[in-house]
Structure 1
């Protein structure tokens, strides 16, 4: 659900949800549509995301789109070309707290910003970058996965082993999508 905005007005779209809910797949879909519409698109990802490919955002179904991996959110501002109209940012939860201001600055400059990421960690606690970004965005899409235990709608990311770290990059080897009933948060 994207409204037609005046070309000079920027805005922020957030795609959030649990692991395996199709966030990156939806981000790629929106960015490809913008490319088909002949809009200049640039895509960024955190260099912490080393699951699949450094120079691509890749969904779990292996859809991919070229991107630039950056160390921090300020690197995005430095790398955006003047004529870029649409900016995609994947794995927002991996970025520093400045990502919210960076997205706002880009939208304020007349650009469409599409940001995707987890809204909760493996304990069910909010990632504050995403919570703050959702609060200032024009559009929020919350994707649900399917619980890998019972098949119900799932919005939690269940970590399968304890590492002691809040952020642990992984996919099906380390996480499962779980519903409210089947989710067992670690304390």
Structure 2
């Protein structure tokens, strides 16, 4: 990632979005960037939606069990209250947040905060998910990660739901979802 030099002495913020399908490494990449910010002695605050308790009620945990402490919250406005005077804000599972999240991230970036957001860009139907499309439009840097299709071995951009249900939000792991490429996602099994 290219970081523009700051010649004015004024702290500049920006928005980074890490997106992709389930099992593509979004949370792992978020954790990696946040740990590097801490190594640089930057003040970091990390948030996740309170509904995400799959691995841990407090920590952000990747599928390969890398973890970092976070604050579970119910709405994105809370981030503005809890992230005053920080250098870096990390937000995981951004697709589960309310429609104020893009504006919250924009406000943070305008006041000089580096904002790193991770989330699914598409739901199990292959449709844009939650606020991620809006965050992608506002982002200064975008990283799209891919998993490996479990059916054919090609790169996977889709999260295929293996269990029945019409609700857009179904928290699950490998028992409920698998990564698939475009062709395998649209095949009828």
What TM-score comes out, normalization by structure 1 length?
0.95
User: Which residue of 44, 47, 51 corresponds with 1:44?
Assistant: 47
Matches within 5 A, 1:9-20: 9-20=12-23
Contact residue 124 and residue 185 of structure 1 kept, 8 A: no
Describe the superposition over 1:11-68 as per-residue Cα deviations: whole angstroms up to 9, x where unpaired: 0000000000000000000000000000000000001111101111000000000000
1:138 matched to which residue of 2?
140
2:27 matched to which residue of 1?
24
Supply the distance in 1 between the matched residues of 2:75 and 2:187 (Cα, whole angstroms). Answer: 29
User: Which residue of 73, 78, 82 corresponds with 1:75?
Assistant: 78
Could you list the structure 1 runs, at least 4 aligned residues long, displaced by more than 4 angstroms after superposition.
none
Supply the distance in 1 between the matched residues of 2:59 and 2:84 (Cα, whole angstroms). Answer: 18
SS at match of 2:77: helix
Supply the distance in 2 between the matched residues of 1:169 and 1:185 (Cα, whole angstroms). Answer: 23
Unaligned runs of 5+ in 1: none
2:106 matched to which residue of 1?
104
Count of residues paired in the alignment: 185
Deviation for aligned residue 1:2: 3.9
Unaligned runs of 5+ in 2: none
**Residues 144 and 126 of structure 1, relative CA distance in 2, 3 Å threshold:** same
Is 1:55 the equivalent of 2:94?
no
What TM-score comes out, normalization by structure 2 length?
0.94
